Structure 1
Amino acid sequence: MPLGEDGNGWKKKTSDIKEHYDFKEVLGTGAFSEVVLAEEKRTQRLVAIKCIPKKALEGKENNIENEIAVLHRIKHPNIVTLEDIFESTSHLYLVMQLVSGGELFDRIVEKGFYTERDASQLIHQILDAVKYLHDMGIVHRDLKPENLLYYSMDEDSKIMISDFGLSKIEGAGSVMSTACGTPGYVAPEVLAQKPYSKAVDCWSIGVISYILLCGYPPFYDENDAKLFEQILKAEYEFDSPYWDDISDSAKDFICHLMEKEPLKRYTCEQALQHPWICGDTALDKNIHESVSAQIKKNFAKSKWKQAFNATAVVRHMRKLQLGTSLEGPSQITPTNSTQRRENEGSMCRIE
């Protein structure tokens, strides 16, 4: 159904959004939207407004309606809030909570002191938020560091999950099988074109945990097909010397999340009960120098912003004889790490 022709009462009609908000500056641009810093005239409160021209949405209406439907239901302290929705004849405007603390990796690099315990506390917040989503029947499907933002510049700021463009609300009996996500963070069952569930988010949290403790991704290859092979086999290792000072508890936690078999993989609830998260096994040793050096080497900002042609991934998946999506074209976005040492890896191994 075209935008504006349904009966969604949560959309407010407007002839001009600038009657309600003063636009300040562009914060970012996407494939078919622009995010603007704006001040609400009535309250002088700053917000972020996602401006989506309807012309750009032709044929994509369902995607944006899905994002709105997901966001509109969510109220959690670690998830960016959709505060209002306006619709004009030409645009859709999503008024979002302003999150001003910057990206996860930037903050880690800027810190002078960073420990396993810091990483554990970050992952605790992410697990809590994703458990909330899962309890609501919502799967994020694209959890990655770029979608994790700090609420403010305060030293003890909370972390926030953003970007629900690939979220999916599980319906009764529905099966998700669209290949979506970002290659370095996507679960094996997604690449294998098997029906999947909330467990894909738990895998991604395992990958993020791995990166937070060493600064580089568990899976990497310049060739996407080889990268997919690594992920399909769940081949990764805790390389020396980068993991020498990391606790066995942290490695055990990661192994339970980056478990190849979805049914054996930890749920968010199980992960929250792991001693590395809820106990005192996360170490206080400063690992900042090693981790920040690897982040700067492996996660160049220019890489994060690259556009990507999804047909390349579809082509690689066909070469791997993974078949085609049951739901539609691949929605995999680019991996965001640069060259790291070539490493065939092995199954998860704690040395």
Structure 2
Amino acid sequence: MPGAVEGPSWKQAEDIRDIYDFRDVLGTIKHPNIVALDDIYESGGHLYLIMQLVSGGELFDRIVEKGFYTERDASRLIFQVLDAVKYLHDLGIVHRDLKPENLLYYSLDEDSKIMISDFGLSKMEDPGCVLSTACGTPGYVAPEVLAQKPYSKAVDCWSIGVIAYILLCGYPPFYDENDAKLFEQILKAEYEFDSPYWDDISDSAKDFIRHLMEKDPEKRFTCEQALQHPWIAGDTALDKNIHQSVSEQIKKNFAKSKWKQAFNATAVVRHMRKLQLGTSQEGQGQTASHGELLMPAPGGPAAGCCCRDCCVEPGPELSPTLPPQL
């Protein structure tokens, strides 16, 4: 069946009722840049998610195939992503796994629109509970998630900043063969605009990225603020062809990349315990100790109820990301 994908088994599902509740929300989404969920079917102990069919391929593949690619092209792509994510945030939905592999082209047409897909880690913001599960994809995850702090929709804005960075140079802002050093970079928000790869990129683009890849989520741009930045809303994005440099770096750094692998709370807590990073990061407000997930905030649901964000199954171990071949 076109567009049908097998969902989690009954044992893997966090809460079947919550999945159906979330289905009801996703079913109401009407945005041109978001893959629609048409329905969910239950059969043989499995859930089948019937999604809108998109056939244009992944973002990186399309960029590599192009013969001409500019900052302005990247700006238009990011505009579509920001507009769609703002729509989700206005509905109270946090995607939590934004990355280039989840950005698909609707069709093979040259001017095809981009579509956000894969809501497997998405959550509805609940006034009675805090988002706390450490999930996402290594390299795109926000510092506050790795620091085991309660977080918000600002984590999506950080991920968009990482995507924008990659679209302009072809390699990730954080990279190391050693997981401990990778996490340290992200936790400190340490990244550079390396020469010569950023020499021809506008100061406006760099300013845009700095505002999204801001360590403090309270100071980080929201989608609405990012949409008003001159690099998106104005004419500061350059028209110089950067295809050769960007496509070469994409092919070197993301071929057979392990960046696609997602992780969850169990995996990241296990790694942070091993790497002894957890104790060096103080959480704000209510935080979790090693191997312990956050409980509902005071004044929330009664003790013992599930806050939907803490019922996770053990997932795959984090894989080291590929270092950029600069």
% identity of equivalent residues? 77
Identify if the C-alpha distance between structure 1 residues 305 and 195 changes in structure 2 by more than 3 Å, giving closer, same or farther.
closer
Rounded to whole Å, the distance in 2 between the matches of 1:215 and 1:307 is 21
- Separation (CA, whole Å) in 1 of partners of 2:12 and 2:175: 34
1:198-347 to structure 2, matched below 5 A, reads 198-301=153-256, 303=258, 313-318=268-273, 319-322=276-279, 323-324=290-291, 325-326=293-294, 327=310, 334=318, 337-340=321-324
Matching residue within 87, 102, 105 for 2:60: 105
1:173 and 2:128 aligned: yes
Q: Which amino acid aligns with 2:10?
A: L
Which structure: larger Rg?
1
Identify the residue that residue 4 of structure 1 maps to in structure 2: none
The separation in 1 between residues aligned to 2:12 and 2:197, in whole angstroms, is 47
- Output the amino acid matched with 1:320: L
Deviations 1:265-318 (A, max 9, x none): 000000000000010000000000000000000001353566979865333211
Pairwise CA distance, 1:65: 4.2
Q: 1:313 to 1:132 in 2, by over 3 A?
A: same
Mapping 1:152-191, distance limit 5 Å:
152-191=107-146
Q: How many angstroms apart in 2 are the aligned matches of 1:296 and 1:132?
A: 32
| 1:45-56 equivalent positions in 2, closer than 5 A | 47-52=2-7, 56=9
Higher mean displacement: 129-138 or 56-65: 56-65
Q: Which residue does the alignment assign to 2:69?
A: 114
| Structure 1 contact 220–227 (Cα < 8 Å) conserved | yes
After superposition, what is the alpha-carbon deviation per residue over 1:324-344, rounded to whole angstroms, capped at 9, x for unaligned?
4323567687568522259xx
Cα RMSD after superposing both structures: 2.4
Q: How many residues align?
A: 295
1:258 and 1:216 map into 2 onto residues whose CA distance is 15
CA distance in 1, matches of 2:233, 2:111: 19
Q: Relative to structure 1, is the Cα distance of residues 336 and 229 closer, same or farther in structure 2, using a 3 angstrom cutoff?
A: closer
Q: What is the aligned partner in structure 2 of residue 58 from structure 1?
A: 11
TM-score, normalised to structure 2, is: 0.84
Q: 2:151 corresponds to which residue?
A: 196
* Shift, 1:69, TM fit: 4.4
1:93 deviates by: 2.3
* Shift in Å, 1:149: 0.3
- What is the CA–CA distance in structure 2 between the aligned matches of 1:334 and 1:216, rounded to whole Å? 19
**Local SS of the residue matching 2:104:** strand
Structure 2 distance, partners of 1:339, 1:163, is 26
**Alignment partner of 1:72 out of 27, 32, 35:** 27
> 1:145 matched to which residue of 2?
100
Q: In structure 1, give the amino acid aligned to 2:324.
A: R
> Quick check: 1:71–1:164 contact (8 Å CA) kept in 2?
no
Alignment TM-score, normalising by the size of structure 1:
0.78
- Structure 2 residues without counterparts, runs of 5 or longer: 280-289, 295-309
1:134 partner SS? helix
Letter in 1 for 2:142: A
Counterparts of 1:145 and 1:69 in 2: how far apart (Å)? Answer: 26
What residue is the counterpart of 1:95 in the other structure? 50
Question: Residue deviations 1:163-192, cap 9 Å, x none?
Answer: 001101001232111101012000011111
Residues 101, 237 of structure 1: alpha-carbon distance in 2 compared, 3 angstrom cutoff: same
Does residue 1:125 correspond to 2:80, yes or no?
yes
Contact persistence 1:183–1:333 (CA under 8 A): no
Structure 1 residues 112 and 59: CA distance shift in structure 2, 3 A: closer
| SS of equivalent to 2:235 | coil
Which residue identity lines up with residue 57 of structure 1 in the other structure? Answer: W
Q: CA contact under 8 A between 2:135 and 2:264: conserved in structure 1?
A: no
**Residues of 1 paired with 2:114 and 2:212: CA distance?**
20
Give, in angstroms, the shift of residue 249 of structure 1: 0.1
**Cα separation, 2, equivalents of 1:232 and 1:339:** 18
User: Structure 1 or 2: larger strand share?
Assistant: 1
- Quote the offset at 1:95 in angstroms: 1.5
Structure 1 residues 164 and 121, CA gap change in structure 2 (3 angstroms):
same
Change beyond 3 A, Cα 1:335–1:140: farther
Q: Is 84-93 or 98-107 further displaced after alignment? A: 84-93
Output the amino acid matched with 2:15.
N
Distance in 1 (CA, whole Å) between partners of 2:13 and 2:154 is 27
Alpha carbons of structure 1 residues 293 and 260: separation in structure 2 relative to 1, 3 Å:
same
